[in-house]
Amino acid sequence: AQSVTQPDIHITVSEGASLELRCNYSYGATPYLFWYVQSPGQGLQLLLKYFSGDTLVQGIKGFEAEFKRSQSSFNLRKPSVHWSDAAEYFCAVGARGRSSGDKLTFGTGTRLAVRP
């Protein structure tokens, strides 16, 4: 069964500082990988996704993530955080190869706070 671990429950960074949110997954093959962001009281917005190809993927709002197969990781990064980035971030994994569409398995999330 697939699983996702986000080891950091809560992270605080200063505005303008760089950010890295960690995500490790467990899956028997190369998975689909996603990062979603959720602002308070809002739904889930897709930041970026990895399906295949280049292991460094670019997303919206200046975010990027790197798939590292050897480490089973898909860490999210941003070079300079803005106050509006304060939100909860979820890493998710989807299985490949199924014919009927697949569930996503989410991590427990990392809540990001931004200091002015």
Partner 1 sequence: EPEVTQTPSHQVTQMGQEVILRCVPISNHLYFYWYRQILGQKVEFLVSFYNNEISEKSEIFDDQFSVERPDGSNFTLKIRSTKLEDSAMYFCASTQLAGNGEQFFGPGTRLTVL
User: Which CB sits closer to partner 1, 14 or 45?
Assistant: 45
Q: Is 54 in the site for partner 1 (CB under 8 A)?
A: no
Size of the site for partner 1 (CB under 8 A): 27
The residue from 21, 23, 24, 34 that contacts partner 1 (CB under 8 A) is 34
Judged by beta carbon, residue 74 or residue 107, the one nearer partner 1 is: 107
CA angle 67, 46, 37 (to 5 degrees): 95
Beta strands in 44-100 (DSSP E): 45-50, 56-58, 64-68, 73-78, 87-94
Q: Is 52 in the site for partner 1 (CB under 8 A)?
A: no
Q: What is the DSSP string of 6-46?
A: ---SEEEEETTS-EEE--EEE-SSPPEEEEEEE-TT---EE
**Positions in the binding site for partner 1 (CB under 8 A):** 32, 34, 36, 42-46, 49, 51, 90, 92, 94, 96-109
